[in-house]
Amino acid sequence: MERLHKIILEEGNALSSNVLKVDSFLNHQVDPELMYEMGTYFKNYFKDKGITKIFTIESSGIAPSVMTAMQMGLKMVTLKKQGSKILSGDVYQTTVHSFTKDMNYELTLSKKFIDSEDKILIIDDFLANGEAALGAARLVEEAGASVAGIGIVIEKSFQPGPQILKEKGYDVYSLARIKKLGENLIEFEK
């Protein structure tokens, strides 16, 4: 996605060989036109997969997921990372390790928002080690539903996540694939 590549180069901040800060357009301040365009790309790629719902993990995946859901005419479900007094009882949970925050959290899905016939599209902001996407997929599969695909805004191709997900048989579609990061260095896959 050329526009996304351009914005990453102009506004992204490569802090190290593993960390890319994109807070000006994706996860602190959001560019709604860019999110809509991302939704169009995800819709076009996954349109023939029989998807019934779109899942994302709070919070940076919400904007592109909502735009995709709107364009596909589907419901969007947010998997929660934070504990909640009102979200208890009939839930699916799994432990996920956050690469960015270097900590574990409980990913939670209310059982009332999924059934065994669902075909789920998971959308997330980053794919690095694959932990978040694998956690979301575990919840979907624990419910007896299927993962129809995984849409990623920015993939760090040099980290193990993309290969792990593909080896597990998931259809992974990334809008921007970065092959190398370094302080003030961002290189995309061709």
Q: Binding site annotation covers 129?
A: yes
Rounded to 5 degrees, φ, ψ at 153 are: -75, -55
Q: Are strands 20-21 and 103-110 parallel, antiparallel or unpaired?
A: unpaired
Q: Binding site annotation covers 132?
A: yes
Q: Residue 121 forms beta bridges with which residues?
A: 54, 149
Q: Binding site annotation covers 104?
A: no
Q: Binding site annotation covers 39?
A: no
**CA distances (Å), 169 to each of 77, 116, 131, 163, 165, in order?**
23, 19, 15, 10, 7
Q: Binding site annotation covers 130?
A: yes
Q: What is the dihedral of CA 24, 67, 46, 130, to 10 degrees?
A: 40
Q: Binding site annotation covers 181?
A: no
Q: Binding site annotation covers 27?
A: yes
Q: Binding site annotation covers 184?
A: no
- Alpha-carbon gap, residue 96 to 8, rounded angstroms: 27
Residues marked as binding? 20, 27, 128-132, 156
Residues marked as binding for xanthine? 20, 27, 156
Residues marked as binding for 5-phospho-alpha-D-ribose 1-diphosphate? 128-132
